[in-house]
Structure 1
Amino acid sequence: MTCVDSPLGAVTLRPLSRFPESGVDIAPGTLLAPMPGTVGRIAVAVGQPVRADQPLLWLEAMKMEHRITAPAAGVVTELPVAPGQRVDAGAALAVVHEDDANSQDSD
């Protein structure tokens, strides 16, 4: 902790971690928004099986469409966004529960 006095008054400064913990546990298979943007379109529904690298939705940001794809084969278990919805960086876009049969084949 550092204390600083100036003509404007005293201020106490505390050092912060360079990479702070978010404090939020993220479920495995959760896809997070890489940047702030708007959900353009959604190509899947909850309960739908998907394959690895299949497009799930498109995020419109920085005058471009960013394709959000499935990290592995599995089933979409959550889809907490809708077309036209604005999201912040790090917001959950979808959750894909990895297919147990496929994960055993890769061992």
Structure 2
Amino acid sequence: MEKAEQKQRHALFQTKCVIKERSCCMIIDGDSCNNLASSDMVEKLALSTKPHPHLYHIQSLNNSGKAKVTRLVRISFAIGSYHDVVECDVVPMQACHILLGRSWQFDMDCVHHARSN
């Protein structure tokens, strides 16, 4: 268990971002294959969604078990002076408002220097 916790500790980077002039919690997770947005955040910020082209189930990031992914949302966000737009699957989660996975890191050639940050 300790080895798994150590690996996870170095794979996660938590920060704040701004979406529609609101502060939101963001996690960058090098072990995740998905870009995810909280369904609560999408609803509260009245972000427009579209149907997901490839429906699938995901282990939910809260206590509700599996969740069916049926919607996509395009999110414009800022971290300090950095601005970006990302497409995320909309899921019920309580861990954060937006979770960016390996695909976003690869597309952006992103390195977050976990220990020094």
> Which TM-score tier does this pair reach, normalised by the shorter chain?
under 0.3
Give TM-score, length-normalised by structure 1: 0.28
TM-score by length of 2: 0.26
Ranked by relative contact order (alpha carbons within 8 Å, sequence separation 6 or more), the top structure is 2
Larger % of helix: which? 2
Between Structure 1 and Structure 2, whose CA radius of gyration is higher? 1
